[in-house]
Every structure is written in C-alpha cells, then in structure tokens.
C-alpha cells in the first residue's frame, strides 16, 4: 500500500532547477552584487585601491598575498568578492537557459547580466593597471570612474529585470504598455539618475582625496579659484540630485494615485520614498563631512533608487 500524501506540491521547497529556484537565485545574485558594490566603495573611500600594487589578477605578485596592511586586506577581499559575483552570474545565466523558455525576457536579461559582469571585471582591471586608484587625482581617473559607474548601473538593471520577470517563466508573451503616452519621460528619468550618480561618484572621490575639516571650510573650498577641479565639481552633485528628485516625484506620484496595477503602485510608492530618503541621506552626508559609513548608506540608497526606477519603467512601459 502506498503511503498517504502528507502535503501538496505547493508546500514543498523549490526544486534546484525549478523556476521558483531560479527566482530565488536571481534575487540573491542581485543582493550579493549590491554588497560587492558597497565593498568597492569602501575600497575607494579608504584609499585601498592600490592595496595589491599595480598587479592584476595577482595581488602584489602572488595568488594568495601576505596580508600585512589593511589596504591589502580590503582590496584583496574586494577582488575575491568580485570573482564570486562573476561565478554567480554565470550560474544565473546557466539556470536561465535551463529552466526558462527560449524567448522569455528573464532569459535575455540574464544573458545581458553576463555581458556586463564581464565588462565590469575588465574595467576593474583597467583601473588597477592604469593606476586610477588610491590618491590618483587625474582627469583620466574621472573618466574611468564614470565608465565604471555606468557599467555597474547597467549590470544592476539587467540583474533586477532578470529577478523581477522571473516569477512567470511559463509566459513569454510581451506585455503591452499601460497607456499610449510617450516613453521619453521615463528615458529622461533613467538618464537623469545615471548623470546624478556619476556626479555623486566624482563628489565622493573629491571628498576622499580632499577631505574638509568642517562644513564651512568645505563650502569655501568649493568656490575657491585655486581649488582642485574635483573640489569645485562637488557643488554640482547636490543641485542635480534635487532637480532629478523633483522630476522623479512628478513622474511617480500620478502613477501612485492612478491605481493601474498593484505592482506599479507599489513601485511608485517605493520610488517616492527612496527619493526622499536619498535626498535626506545626501544632506546628512554634507553636514557630517561625508564619513565613510554615511557614503556607503548614500550609495546603497542610490542603487535602490536606480533599481526601483528600472522596474518602474518596465512595469509602466511593458518593455520586457
């Protein structure tokens, strides 16, 4: 006699290669990459980018370096975390190919995630080999920083869309837009957030290389004719951030009130809340003199704003 069933299939944990398992993996990979990004910001904020010297992929010429300095420990840990992130995205890509239909959008975004994690590794290597780390204050480092930031945001966007679109793997039919309104307002919003993020990265670099002992000194330095260009650029970021925040609020508030779909309303609400939180975090960072811990919080909220905006755009436009 066969034993009686003790539960339904819905109560069982997701199988390793099931769509549910893929969804869990996708969100986990996204969260892990956020942790890697924050650790990378710690590398920059502590001036540890040269902790492994000018060597890549080796660290100070060794596979397993001697950890005698904190800078080496911080930089080597970041390299190990980045390598694990690459392997995680490779696993995500493989699972997507195995469990999702051929034209499912999450499968496509998983493939793009693999592309951008590879370019992320190449850009990171270039930063080390070009010497655009530690106390380097050249214009070339600003361009490298901007390139790295844009690639990181594209990677986060692809990972977020992979996870967001994973819950319905059986459906590969594209969703239509919720209205016939033009797409350019959302395109402007995405571009605005990237520009603000690049300006923020440059500001953070200036704060690291040229710290101010007080708010008044920092303001005086911002307008000093003899100040380094990184210092004089610091005033640009908060102005751009406020303008972009107002624009995002104008874009998201009507969607929150319209009640078109539960998912779109939730994303609209989160976007509004995160924009307010980011502006407050930015203000606190300025008032406190941009301590490292505040820079990390500021960056984390900025990443969450970007991810939420990308998902908002996907839901609003039906562009999957």
**For residue 167, is it within any domain?**
no
Q: What is the pLDDT along the chain (320 residues), one digit of tens a residue?
A: 444 444 444 444 444 456 678 999 999 999 999 999 999 999 988 888 888 887 888 888 888 888 878 999 999 999 999 999 999 999 999 999 998 888 889 999 999 999 999 999 999 989 988 888 878 888 888 999 999 999 999 999 999 999 999 855 444 444 555 555 678 999 999 999 999 999 998 888 888 787 776 666 666 666 666 677 777 777 889 999 999 999 999 999 999 998 788 899 999 999 999 999 999 999 999 888 889 999 999 999 999 999 999 999 999 887 55
pTM: 0.86
pLDDT, residue 16, reads: 45
Same domain, 200 and 253: yes
Rounded to whole angstroms, the Cα distance separating 50 from 63 reads 16
pLDDT, residue 167, reads: 59
101, 169 Cβ separation under 8 angstroms: yes
233, 203 Cβ separation under 8 angstroms: yes
pLDDT, residue 213, reads: 64
Q: Where are the alpha helices (DSSP H) in 100-226?
A: 105-129, 139-165, 184-209, 215-222
**For residue 11, is it within any domain?**
no
Same domain, 213 and 268: yes
Helix (H, G, I), strand (E, B) or coil at 261: coil
pLDDT, residue 82, reads: 95
Range of the domain at 88: 17-137
Same domain, 42 and 122: yes
Number of domains in the chain: 2
Bridge partners (DSSP) listed for residue 59: 62
pLDDT, residue 168, reads: 54
CA distances from 275 to 100, 106, 193, 248 (A): 34, 27, 11, 8
Bridge partners (DSSP) listed for residue 177: none
Residue 165 Cα to chain centre, angstroms: 18
**For residue 158, is it within any domain?**
no
Same domain, 106 and 206: no
pLDDT, residue 53, reads: 82
Choose the final residue of a domain: 88, 118, 137: 137
Burial 125-145 (b: 16+ CB within 10 A, else e): eebbeeebbbebbeeebbebb
Same domain, 179 and 90: no
CATH, residue 243: 1.20.120
Same domain, 181 and 264: yes
Same domain, 26 and 114: yes
């Amino acid at each position: 006699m066969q034993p009686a069933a003790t539960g339904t299939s819905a109560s069982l944990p997701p199988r390793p290669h099931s769509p549910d398992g893929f969804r869990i993996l996708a969100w986990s990979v996204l969260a892990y990459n956020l942790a890697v990004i924050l650790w990378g910001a710690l590398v920059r904020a502590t001036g540890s980018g040269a902790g492994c010297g000018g060597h890549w992929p080796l660290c100070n010429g060794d596979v397993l370096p001697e950890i005698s300095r904190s800078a080496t420990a911080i930089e080597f840990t970041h390299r190990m975390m980045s390598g694990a992130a690459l392997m995680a995205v490779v696993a995500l890509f493989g699972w997507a190919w195995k469990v999702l239909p051929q034209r499912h959008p999450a499968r496509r975004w998983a493939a793009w995630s693999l592309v951008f994690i590879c370019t992320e590794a190449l850009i990171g290597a270039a930063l080390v080999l070009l010497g655009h780390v530690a106390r380097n204050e050249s214009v070339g480092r600003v361009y490298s920083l901007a390139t790295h930031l844009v690639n990181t945001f594209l990677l986060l966007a692809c990972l977020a869309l992979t996870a967001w679109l994973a819950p319905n793997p059986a459906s590969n039919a594209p969703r239509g837009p919720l209205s016939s309104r033009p797409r350019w307002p959302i395109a402007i919003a995405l571009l605005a957030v990237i520009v603000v993020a690049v300006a923020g990265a440059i500001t953070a670099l200036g704060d690291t290389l040229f710290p101010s002992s007080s708010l008044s000194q920092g303001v005086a330095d911002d307008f000093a004719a003899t100040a380094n260009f990184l210092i004089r650029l610091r005033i640009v970021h908060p102005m751009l951030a406020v303008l972009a925040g107002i624009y995002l609020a104008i874009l998201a508030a009507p969607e929150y009130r319209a009640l078109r779909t539960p998912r779109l309303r939730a994303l609209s609400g989160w976007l509004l809340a995160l924009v307010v939180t980011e502006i407050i975090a930015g203000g606190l960072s300025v008032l406190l003199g941009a301590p490292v811990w505040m820079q990390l919080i500021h960056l984390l909220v900025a990443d969450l704003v970007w991810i939420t905006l990308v998902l908002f755009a996907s839901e609003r436009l039906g562009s999957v």
